[in-house]
Amino acid sequence: MKIINLISGPRNLSTALMYSFAQRPDTKVIDEPFYAHYLLSTGILHPGRKETLETMSANINEILENIFSNTDCEILFLKNMAHHHQQMDFYFLDKMINLFLIRNPKQLIASFAQVIKNPTMNDIGLKKSWELYNLIKKTNDSSPLVLDSAEILKNPELLLKKLCDKLKVHFYDDMLSWSEGGIQEDGVWADYWYKNVHQSTGFKKQTTSSRELSVHCKGLYFEALKYYNKLTEKSIQI
């Protein structure tokens, strides 16, 4: 079995990419398996915190055991957030294909601030993505894959074909679209975060992508931009 570990920031098209892979006949997807662990280990308050902790294991050993016990699929696609990789031994990353998904931090922060008003660097995951990228590169002596959501939107079919080629998996046309509404694998937090993707049937730029940053978020933007620029240099291009 091939395990693809998507390491993303929030508001990055990560759920859309999960939906895309969920359309494949050979793939099973898991939505943010480390979320409860992240909430419990950091004590952070997020919408849906109570429901998440009640319905998911927060024990990292149990979570990983569950992930690696999946034997009923050829490909297991994990949609993970970079900042959820907290207080854990990262040995398991060596057993996965790690795929980083990034987005211009101006758009990312503006979108995230609609749900959590005063985001921090720890919330948006770009610094953590850069740290994990370098850790994996050093450990595996190879460069992990990087996707920029802006490149996906330029030409979803071409980009997904290139991605599948890099992953050494077959490309399916079914990956380009899905039915409106959620999928059964959605986490219990979907009501708080997935409104846009639930209204979509494919990869499409949101009209809210051009919203302006709040003044109090601009410092975070300039700090995050340096990590984004480093990662986007590594990304798969159209």
Q: Count the domains in the chain.
A: 1
Condensed to tens digits (0 to 9), the pLDDT of residues 61-117 reads 999 999 999 999 999 999 999 999 999 999 999 999 999 999 999 988 988 888 888
CATH number for the domain harbouring residue 155: 3.40.50.300
Kindly state whether residue 132 falls inside one of the protein's structural domains.
yes
Q: Report helix, strand or coil for 3.
A: strand
Kindly state whether residue 238 falls inside one of the protein's structural domains.
no
Condensed to tens digits (0 to 9), the pLDDT of residues 7-27 reads 999 888 999 999 999 999 999
Kindly state whether residue 237 falls inside one of the protein's structural domains.
no
Q: Range of 130's domain?
A: 2-232
Helices (H), 144-189: 149-154, 156-167
Q: Copy the structure tokens of residue 28.
A: 């099973």
For 192-218, b/e burial (b = at least 16 CB within 10 A) is ebbebbbebeebeebeebeeeeeeebe
Q: What are the percentages of helix, strand and coil residues in the chain, rounded to 5?
A: 50, 15, 35
Cα 11 to Cα 194: distance, rounded to the nearest angstrom? 9
Q: What is the pLDDT of residue 117?
A: 82
Condensed to tens digits (0 to 9), the pLDDT of residues 104-154 reads 999 889 888 888 888 899 889 999 999 999 999 998 877 899 999 999 999
Kindly state whether residue 73 falls inside one of the protein's structural domains.
yes
Kindly state whether residue 150 falls inside one of the protein's structural domains.
yes
Is residue 80 within 8 A of residue 5, CB to CB? The reply is yes
- Segment 194-216 shows an average pLDDT of 81
Computed on alpha carbons and rounded to an integer, the radius of gyration of the chain in Å comes to 17
Kindly state whether residue 201 falls inside one of the protein's structural domains.
yes
Q: What is the pLDDT of residue 17?
A: 98
Amino acid at 92: F
